[in-house]
Structures are given as structure tokens and as C-alpha cells.
Amino acid sequence: MDCIFCQIVAGKIPSEIIYQDEEVIAFRDINPQAPTHLIIIPRKHIPSLAELSPAELPLIGRMVAVAHKLAREEGITETGYRLVVNYGEWGGQIVPHLHMHLLGGKRLSAKLG
């Protein structure tokens, strides 16, 4: 098992896990791009959006719901936040385990790309 995020799920790599349930976990990004930068992932190893089966689609909804709950806990729902899923080389996906970035706590760049 050489997937970094699977190792975080298994507790083999330490991380600041701030949420977990039976399907989803969330932790702070090791290299934060904003005052709040959380990573939300499925426990299951799904490499990217391309491998998400129709039956697994509800996971995305759960991840969004967890993200909003954590944003509220971080106190950034008033000012706002951004959810990002990178895909592929040009989209900037580095870690091949499906994940969502939650960014907030500062005014984010108006440019998305």
C-alpha cells in the first residue's frame, strides 16, 4: 500500500484528522494554501473522479456535506470558502486518491485557472 492518503486512513502516516465517519475522513493539508485548508477523502481507495462508479456517486454528496459542516466549525461560512477537486495532470491532481480541498479563511483569488 503506497498510497499516502490510504496510509493516513490507516493511521500509518500521522496527520491532523479533524473528522471521520464510516465512509469519509478529513484532515489538514500539510502544505496549507489558506488559513483553513482541509482535505476530505473517502476511506475507500478510489484513485480519481474517473474511477468513481455510479453506486459511489453519493460519496461526493457526503464529502460536500462534511466540508460544509467543517467550514462552519472553522468559522468560515460567513466569509465563504472554496471546494476544489483536481483531476489529471493539467488539473493538478498529484495524490492519486480522490480528494476534495476546502479552502477559506482569506479572500481567495478570483482567478480559478
Q: Which residues are annotated as catalytic? A: 99
Could you tell which of Zn ion, ligand 5GP, none binds residue 102, using a CB distance below 5 to 8 A set by kind?
A: none
Stretch that binds Zn ion, among 5-13, 22-30, 57-65, 81-89 (CB under 5 A): 5-13
Determine if 24 is a binding residue for ligand 5GP (CB under 6 A).
Answer: no
Determine if 108 is a binding residue for Zn ion (CB under 5 A).
Answer: no
Burial label for 28, CB within 10 Å (0-12, 13-18, 19+), is middle
Cβ proximity to ligand 5GP: between 13 and 65 the closer is 13
3-state secondary structure of 88: helix
Among 18, 56, 82, 93, binds ligand 5GP (CB under 6 A): 93
1, 13 in Cβ contact below 8 A? no
Determine if 30 is a binding residue for ligand 5GP (CB under 6 A).
Answer: yes
Residue 95: what are its φ and ψ, rounded to 5°? Answer: -90, 120
Hey, which residues does 40 pair with through a beta bridge?
A: 26, 100
Dist. CA 29–CA 36, nearest whole Å = 9
Site residues (CB under 5 A) for Zn ion, limited to 74-103: 97
Which residues contact ligand 5GP (rule: CB under 6 A)? 4, 13, 15, 27-31, 39, 86, 92-95
